[in-house]
Amino acid sequence: MTAWILFALSAGAVAAAGYRLAIDGHVISEGTGLGGMWVGAILIAAATSLPELLTDINAVWQGRPSLAVGDLFGSNMANMMLLAVADLLTRHTRILTRVAVNQALVGTLAICLMAVAAIGLALGPAYAIGVVGPATLIVALAYIGGMYIINRNRGEPPFRTPEQAAAARPSRARLRTSVVGFAGAALVIVVAAPYLAWSAATLAERLGIAEGFAGMVLLALVTSLPEAAVSVTGIRTGAYQLAVGNLLGSSCFNMFALVPLDIVHGTGALLGDVSPTLAVGALFAILLTGLAMMDILNKAERRIWLVEPSPALMLLTYVAGLWMMHAATAP
């Protein structure tokens, strides 16, 4: 009962903090002139990925690396699932076809990072450079280089005029308040994450679920609550760049989180010390992100019976990925 109570309370705190991150992040993107894509892909993505990072650090400390890595791949799958649901439920416009094409840069970076991580899973524990694996080092360098490229390509969406952007810019007082609120919300996530890690791991043991699968489903869905809150708020306010950039940027940051996790792991390559069945989750996360990129670049799709084919296919792919992961980890 204690585990269930802590799980519910910590998950609620994470969701509430994510909602605050969404509101304040949008104000920051307008007030600083950085643009929704850049703030969503870097600033908010890093903040909303704090639950994954801190929860997974605790999991590695507890000797559960498969739970931690499974959470990262599962969170990336959940991010694309959230994107598909948001696109399906927005009736008057298509989200993915409304965002700037340079959002595909973020998604392509996420695919590359996940592919490198999948290679790290295949290499096994024999390959390590000091206390980290070579795949982790490549992920770190690729993330830094990718964020630099994204920063060079940032900008306002093409359907927004400079006059409209200037009119939407908040006052200095509101910007300062939002910066403080953003920092406070991130702090709430920092405090709630250890309790979320302990309660999720305890519940997984009691339910008899394999660590990798528990990370991909139970832990991933909970730690993706901030991304969900950011996306809902961004879509409701018409900040599609912010919503999509956050989900794609979070997938990138989740892979970068392998770096501190590998350091905490200490001996050998982290990716070589986890269940090899997690490669199923990695490949499905890559597939789902690829489908999202195709949808961003495809401007000609039409609804079929009031349903968008591409988001519907993404949802089916997500369900198929969970089913195959469960089958692979079943005793």
Q: Which two tokens stand for residue 214?
A: 């528990």
* 21 backbone dihedrals φ, ψ, rounded to 5°: -60, -40
pLDDT of residue 277: 87
Q: Which pLDDT belongs to residue 97?
A: 61
DSSP 173-234: HHHHHHHHHHHHHHHHHHHHHHHHHHHHHHHHHHHT--HHHHIIIIIHHHHTHHHHHHHHHH
DSSP code string of 30-77: HHH---HHHIIIIIIHHHHTHHHHHHHHHHHHTT-HHHHHHHHHHHHH
Positions in the chain whose pLDDT score sits under 70: 1, 22, 26, 29-43, 91-101, 126-128, 130, 154-170, 299-308, 330-331
How does DSSP classify residue 154? -
In the block, residue with structure tokens 């008057």:
92
Measured in residues, the chain has a length of 331
Q: Is there a contact between 271 and 120 (Cβ–Cβ < 8 Å)? A: yes
Q: Residue 147: what pLDDT?
A: 83
| Token pair for 112 | 């590359």
Q: How many helices (H) and strands (E) does the chain have?
A: 17, 0
For the entire predicted model, the pTM comes to 0.82
Handedness of CA 126, 131, 135, 138 (dihedral sign): negative
Tens digit of each residue's pLDDT (9 = 90 or more) over 72-126:
999 999 999 988 888 777 766 666 666 666 778 888 999 999 999 999 888 877 6
Q: Give the model's pLDDT for residue 257.
A: 93
Q: Contact, 78 vs 220, CB < 8 A?
A: yes
Distance CA 55, CA 261 (A): 10
Q: Which helix (H) or strand (E) holds 260?
A: helix 258-265
What is the per-residue pLDDT across 14-39, written as a single tens digit (0 to 9) for each? 778 877 776 777 677 666 655 545 55
Domains of the chain: 2-329 (1.20.1420.30)
Please give the Cα distance from 52 to 223 (Å, whole number). 6
